[in-house]
Amino acid sequence: MVGSAIVRRLRKNNHENLVFAERKDLDLREQDSVREFLSATKPDLVIIAAAKVGGILANRDAPGDFILENLLIQTNLIAESFRAGIERLLFLGSSCIYPKFAKQPISEDELLTGMLEPTNESYAVAKIAGLKLCAALSQQYGVDYRSVMPTNLYGPGDNFDAEKSHVIPGLIRRFHDAVQQGDDNVVVWGSGNPRREFLYVDDMADASFHVLQTEKDSFDSAAGINRFVNVGSGVDHSIRELADLIAKTTGFDGKITWDTSKPDGTPRKLLDVSRLESLEWSHSTGLEEGLSRTYSWYTQEMPTSVQANSN
């Protein structure tokens, strides 16, 4: 989802000289394959949008896969870029790097100040290692490896699996199916009380592009020693509010039942985006508009075979 959005954004600026690898063509978990790919394509700049991602249940149930695959993907790309003499790199992390009870809104200085949320500790540890690796290589060897920490992302190209996905695609899928099948009840996980900040994926791509365009001195003075900035909208919503908005977007007017046997996860995750604002970037797509665009994509462009099989 994010990689495709970044490619769209780069093409909008007439950057046609792009090389990218899709999962079927290059296994980023294989160090030799990554080395061969970089040596054959010789990029000036590497953007790491690839990761093993999933929603709260996928993370909770497969901690081994989440830590192992993410460490392999990012370490192979960062280490092999460094070995190949590539001076510039952008690593995409996640707002789950912060402590479960971080002070809200969460500033970059909250990193490593407390215990992580247990449901996504493996993923978070991998992402922390990735940003630290970029920062340490930059500090020691003078390369320019930057990181961005996005809040919860959504949009076209997302994974709409009913169980393993994040909350927005999971609920779009379930509410849409209920409307199609004439069901008057949809089950939503948890208590409805957790609060999350959501960012439309094309805004994330725009922010990534903006961070890459920023002069090194300006980036360094905003991002500090760990060389990363938060990317978010600065606005959060309860899951209850989100479920109501998705019901409205999909035309569902039945009942919502809360399954409190499912985990809530972090109580609140709202990023402090003042560092990015100091670099003169802010988001442009509000949640209602982003949901409506995502739902249009889901109903019009996502192949029906995938819609039918993605559970």
Applying CB under 6 A, the residues found at the interface with ligand GFB are 55-56, 59, 94, 96, 119-120, 123, 152, 165-167, 170-171, 188-190, 194, 196, 239, 262-265, 269
Q: Point out the catalytic residue in the list 98, 123, 145, 298.
A: 123
Kindly report the length of the chain. Answer: 311
Rounded Cα gap, residues 242 and 227, in angstroms:
32
Residue 71: CB minimum distance to ligand GFB, A: 14
- C-alpha to C-alpha distance for 233 and 26, rounded to whole angstroms: 33
User: Burial level of 182, CB count in 10 A (0-12/13-18/19+)?
Assistant: exposed
Min dist CB 14 to ligand GFB, Å, is: 31
Over its C-alpha atoms, the chain yields an Rg (Å, rounded) of 19
- The angle subtended at Cα 278 by Cα 277 and Cα 280, nearest 5°, is 60
Choose between 31 and 307: whose C-beta lies nearer to ligand GFB. Answer: 307
Q: Which is nearer to ligand GFB, 107 or 191 (CB)?
A: 191
Nearer to ligand GFB by C-beta: 165 or 285?
A: 165
The Cα 77–Cα 47 span in angstroms is: 9
The yes-or-no answer on residue 145 being catalytic is: no
Looking at beta carbons, which residue is closest to ligand GFB?
A: 55
Q: What is the DSSP letter of 102?
A: P
Quick one: 84 or 235, whose CB is closer to ligand GFB? 235
Number of other CB atoms surrounding residue 27 within 10 Å: 15
57 vs 143, beta carbon nearer ligand GFB: 57
7: enclosing H helix or E strand: helix 2-12
Q: Supply 148's token pair.
A: 């961005």
Taking CA atoms, 295 is separated from 2, 56, 128, 131, 184, in Å, by 17, 21, 32, 33, 20
Q: Which is nearer to ligand GFB, 166 or 293 (CB)?
A: 166
Work out how close the CB of 102 gets to ligand GFB at its nearest, in angstroms, rounded to a whole number: 13
Instruction: Name, in order, each residue with C-beta under 8 angstroms of 88's C-beta and a sequence gap of 6 or more.
Output: 44, 45, 46, 143, 144, 145, 212
**Taking the complex as a whole, how short is the minimal distance between the CB of residue 270 and ligand GFB, in angstroms?**
11
Shortest gap between Cβ of 254 and ligand GFB (angstroms)? Answer: 16
Nearest to 51 by CA among 118, 131, 135: 131
Query: Cα dist. 288→11, 141, 154, 302 in Å?
Result: 26, 44, 12, 20
Packing angle of the helix pair 2-12, 201-213 (nearest 10 deg)? 60
Smallest separation (angstroms) from ligand GFB to the CB of 131 = 14
Active site residues: 123
